[in-house]
Structure 1
């Protein structure tokens, strides 16, 4: 299983348009980018590939990275930075099955699968397939499990991807705070690679109107506001999951410039063979 990080940034990406902060300047000087979130998973045994979330930067990502177009996709939730790239299916794909959760969101009155189907009903190439959370299903020769996480006010899911023949495992936290349910943690546990939402360092919680949540024994917040994990929270979750390797993704340009490109923060284009 080959995993390519196509997009490792948050909703504005780094560098952020119109921003001249130290971190955005440093990214330009380094020639690195964190575009909106998307992960490419290639099953080299079957010569098939899967795309996890459809970044608005889809076109740029596939023009600049040496990966094949996906045979199928997964949508974790319906925020624009994870779904709006699906419009690129027009005139690019002959067919594209897209998989998403079937659980009705009280906030929208629809499941993620229903929202995808409604939003992109004009794309004849796209077929939407719904799945119950925590129930494994097969795509591209891989076993996938959508796992509920906590990203208020919308329902959101992480994802476990396992190769049933080699045992290789990728776990993706999805957009979430630290309060990932225990059943979801169990499904994500023991990955060879863990991609964890870590929007900012815990020190920046003092600047959030709601501060931080889910403090550890030393009072360090593992959640920034209500929706995303801090760097410290993501690393604590990685420890709890017994992750062999962790890359921090969905990071914002608010990281101080002297911390923004330190390990284990990911940048676009990283590739891992599991």
Structure 2
């Protein structure tokens, strides 16, 4: 299985035009982050987790020409706003795109992209096949998926374990029963927004603490605000088995 990080940044404190902080003016491409998303590919199946506002560019930049399904973590705009651009994959495959989301995320998608679910659809609108998921494991193609429920302040959010790979973003609390689902993974991806306390995201230290509890041998941090600092400087502070992810990073399991 191959995992490619399409984006590792966040709309919370995202670098803005005119900002002169050290991250925003950095020449290191690892400090230039699109919104958080990941592409997971096996021999027979390609899945993207979340369609960010940068989705179209992420697909072009990664040269992705085929997708089988989209998994959604939650309904915030920085994770669903790019869904309309799924229509390109409809065009080339001739099929509706399978969408997997929990009930609250499905409700938001049906509301925000109402025209894709209309009885009298306008030609060229996205073709979506919705699948409502909960806590039960399931398969997409040949990839096994175990949902992991985490909390994003007061909002339940889904993380996912796909075989030996676990992906969690937009979380600030994980119950022990859900942590147990992560154990045994070979790679864990976890959000680490910044060093200062935040209402709904893990800080760098909180993410390190969670990583230690799981015992996963290789950990990457994502959903990184420019407030965290420059990639190379923060990476140098981390344990050997923990790294900051960056846009374009690929790992193979």
TM-score, structure 2 length as denominator? 0.85
Report the 3-state secondary structure (helix = DSSP H, G, I; strand = E; otherwise coil) of the residue aligned with 2:221: strand
For 2:6 and 2:57, locate their aligned partners in 1 and report how far apart those are by CA, in whole Å.
9
Q: Tell me, which stretches of 5 or more residues in structure 2 are unaligned? A: 117-125
Partner of 2:98: 97
Partner of 2:28: 30
For 1:101 and 1:31, locate their aligned partners in 2 and report how far apart those are by CA, in whole Å.
34
Report the 3-state secondary structure (helix = DSSP H, G, I; strand = E; otherwise coil) of the residue aligned with 2:129: strand
Q: Tell me, which stretches of 5 or more residues in structure 1 are unaligned? A: 103-110, 163-168, 206-223
Partner of 1:120: 113
Q: CA deviation at 1:260?
A: 4.7
Q: CA deviation at 1:95?
A: 1.6
For the Cα contact (< 8 Å) 1:16–1:253, is it kept in 2? no
For the Cα contact (< 8 Å) 1:52–1:73, is it kept in 2? yes
Report the 3-state secondary structure (helix = DSSP H, G, I; strand = E; otherwise coil) of the residue aligned with 1:81: helix
For 1:13 and 1:139, locate their aligned partners in 2 and report how far apart those are by CA, in whole Å.
34
Quick check: 1:267 aligned with 2:246? yes
For 1:69 and 1:261, locate their aligned partners in 2 and report how far apart those are by CA, in whole Å.
33
Partner of 2:192: 198
For the Cα contact (< 8 Å) 1:15–1:25, is it kept in 2? no
Q: CA deviation at 1:196?
A: 0.6
Partner of 1:70: 67
Q: CA deviation at 1:114?
A: 2.3
- Deviations 1:2-40 (CA, angstroms, capped at 9, x unpaired): 0000010111576434322111111xx123321101100
Count of aligned pairs between the two proteins: 233
Partner of 1:43: 42
After superposition, the Cα gap between the structure-2 partners of 1:142 and 1:92, relative to the gap in structure 1 and judged at 3 Å, is closer
Q: CA deviation at 1:151?
A: 0.5
Q: Which runs of 4+ in 1 moved over 6 A?
A: none
After superposition, the Cα gap between the structure-2 partners of 1:242 and 1:74, relative to the gap in structure 1 and judged at 3 Å, is same
Quick check: 1:230 aligned with 2:227? no
For 1:14 and 1:130, locate their aligned partners in 2 and report how far apart those are by CA, in whole Å.
31
